[in-house]
Amino acid sequence: MNSTTSIQRIIKLIQKDLLLEWRQKYSVYGLLLYLCSAIFAINVLQERPEPEVWNTLFWIILLFVSVNAVAKSFLQEHKNRNIYYYTVHHPKEIIISKLIYNVVLMILMSLVSFFLFAVLLGDPVINFGKFLMMVMLGGLSLSLLFTLLSAISSKAGGNSALIAILGFPLVVPQLILLADLSKPLFLTLLVVGWWKFFTVLLALDILVILLSVILFPFMWKE
């Protein structure tokens, strides 16, 4: 597989996903409406939540955003289109393009979520720089995981319920780690070993990428 040609094909696939997203703008608008509605409802119920509650609510909302934004990535592909991809693309090109597109989408949605939370519920974050890194890393982590789960589900009959079944035992530890890493950033105390756990989460993301690239070609043959 020629690397230059492969990169060009990956870019074409990403452009295709962007075009589809642009034609189906209602899906992005629906995500934004969901975000605004959920955060506004929290604001009505509890105008200025405590920092720990704020942190927990933020990651829960981000989880549901990722499910709606990323989990459909493979499930929305038509069977005939997949057959066409099989004849002109290497499976690694397809999974890499999906991973890149979903990562960019989720990082943007994560930043929008943080902005809306800060505007409507206040901004109790003390260490703004590190929390912004956590927001982007959280969007990255969730998008990678749900892209892989979407690929597995699409090759197992296209049952979206499979994403929830497979995702629950995987996403809960990830959410706990994200919430625990974010918690000290609402305090003025110096936390020893913060960067070590941050690196662990980053290493897990790299592992998910490797698993996706290695396993997807085998699933694609089925």
Cα distances (angstroms) measured from residue 147 to each of 66, 71, 105, 154, 188? 10, 6, 12, 11, 36
Mean pLDDT calculated for residue range 206-220: 87
To the nearest whole percent, how much of the chain has pLDDT over 70? 87
**Structural domains of the chain, count:** 1
Taking only the tens place, the pLDDT of each residue in 106-161 is 999 999 999 999 988 888 888 888 899 999 999 999 999 988 888 887 776 656 66
For the cut 90, the answer to whether the pLDDT of residue 210 exceeds it is yes
Query: Rounded to whole angstroms, how far apart are CA atoms 161 and 173?
Result: 20
- To which residue do tokens 């405590």 refer? 50
Q: Which of 89, 52, 64 is nearest to 182 (CA)?
A: 52
Q: Which of 59, 61, 48, 64 is nearest to 182 (CA)?
A: 59
Question: Can you give the residue range of the structural domain that contains 41?
Answer: 3-220
Residue 25: CB atoms within 10 A of its CB come to 9
pTM, two decimals, is 0.88
To the nearest whole percent, how much of the chain has pLDDT over 90? 22
Mean pLDDT for the chain?
A: 83
